[in-house]
Structure 1
Amino acid sequence: MKNKSALLIIDVQVIMFTFDGGSLYNGGKVLQNIHELLTKARYSKIPVFFVQHTETPNLIEGKEGWPIHPRIKPLENEMVIQKSTCDSFYKTDLHEKLQEQGIESLIIVGMQTDFCVDTTCRRAFSLGYNNKLIADGHSTFDTKVLKAEQIIEHHNSVLGGRFAHLKAANEINFN
């Protein structure tokens, strides 16, 4: 059976780009990379799955920051999975929906590196998916301990080679 891939876009929601607590590191470039991957996936008819965080005070349906960023708005035929934890698989039907389509490989992008991207990469690996983490396709915010750039570099180092193959956005071809 041919290895079937899907693009998994995690929590690229408006709030990430309008957060009062600080700026998303390299947010414009990361959004551009995700947009380009999404465009290539759609052109190549690769399934796209959006994950949308919900059920926190700022991320409730109808609130200003809740929607998926308009630059990458899902099409009607694209799956949107809502979650309430850092794990895109926990108490969602993501795994079942991927299995229904015979997906074996995930190309992973999104927000935030140190929370939902990290947890989802590890869980997807444990579920048997062949992951490609897009090194320049995820981001986060500075913390009191580390700058966002350091967090991203650290997670790329830890996740890459263990839980995912690390790739740059421009290295991904869906054909």
Structure 2
Amino acid sequence: MADALLIIDMQTGLYDGPDKPFERERVLGTINSLIGRAREAGAPILVARHTGPAGSPIAAGSPNWQLWQGLHVDETHDHLFDKTRPSCFLGTDLARRLRALEVNQLVIVGMKTQYCIDTTCRVAVELGFSVIVPEDAHTCMDTPALKAEAIIAHHNATLAGAFGLSGKAADVRF
């Protein structure tokens, strides 16, 4: 049983930018399903927004910085916070908040697989949290070196075991 859901960087500028994330509609639906189940179980939902410096495309308050409109986040109920690094922990109050909520196991979903999902998963484990990274609830874009599908498959294999539990989002329980 997971204790909390952490959604990373599901923002307009990343989700709906010029390079579209791999299977973005399916991933959004999967994350929204997890949001519904977490909310039904009373599990905390924490939502990270990557924030660029003033003048950047994802500067605080800019249209691209906003959460994707199709994400079923309740800004009056869920905990939204901003980050400036790939880790959701560095420079934020996330670890303190998770400990205050008595979270032991964290479900990590969102974007981008090879940056913020990977980094946050590894740091969470270093900080003593158990992690579930549903293999079908994170995404990224193609890069010059690898297709997004290969990046996701690689990270699912790498993060499973040593850094967290894997499996399908449908199997996650709160």
If the TM-score is normalised by the length of the shorter chain, which range does it land in? over 0.9
Using the size of structure 1 for normalisation, the TM-score is 0.94
Q: Distance in 1 between matches of 2:23 and 2:160?
A: 20
- Counterpart of 1:62 in structure 2 is 61
| Residue of 40, 43, 58 corresponding to 1:43 | 40
RMSD: 1.2
Q: CA deviation at 1:64?
A: 1.5
| Residue of 3, 6, 13 corresponding to 2:4 | 6
Q: CA deviation at 1:14?
A: 1.2
User: Structure 1 residues 89-98 or 47-56, which shifts more?
Assistant: 47-56
- Counterpart of 1:80 in structure 2 is 80
Q: CA deviation at 1:24?
A: 0.7
Asked whether the equivalents of residues 2 and 173 of structure 2 are also in contact (C-alpha less than 8 Å), the reply is no
Q: Please, which runs of 5 or more residues in structure 1 have no aligned partner?
A: none
User: Structure 1 residues 60-69 or 161-170, which shifts more?
Assistant: 60-69
**After superposition, where does 1:140-155 map in structure 2 within 5 Å?**
140-155=140-155
Q: Please, which runs of 5 or more residues in structure 2 have no aligned partner?
A: none
Q: Distance in 2 between matches of 1:43 and 1:108?
A: 18
Between Structure 1 and Structure 2, which shows a larger proportion of strand residues?
Answer: 1
* Secondary structure at the counterpart of residue 104 of structure 2: strand
What code does the residue aligned with 2:87 have?
D
* Secondary structure at the counterpart of residue 3 of structure 2: strand
Measured at CA, do residues 4 and 111 of structure 1 come closer, stay the same or move farther in structure 2, by a change above 3 Å? closer
* Secondary structure at the counterpart of residue 128 of structure 2: coil
**After superposition, where does 1:154-173 map in structure 2 within 5 Å?**
154-173=154-173
Asked whether the equivalents of residues 50 and 74 of structure 1 are also in contact (C-alpha less than 8 Å), the reply is no
Number of positions where the alignment pairs a residue of Structure 1 with one of Structure 2? 171
Using the size of structure 2 for normalisation, the TM-score is 0.94
Q: Distance in 1 between matches of 2:110 and 2:131?
A: 14
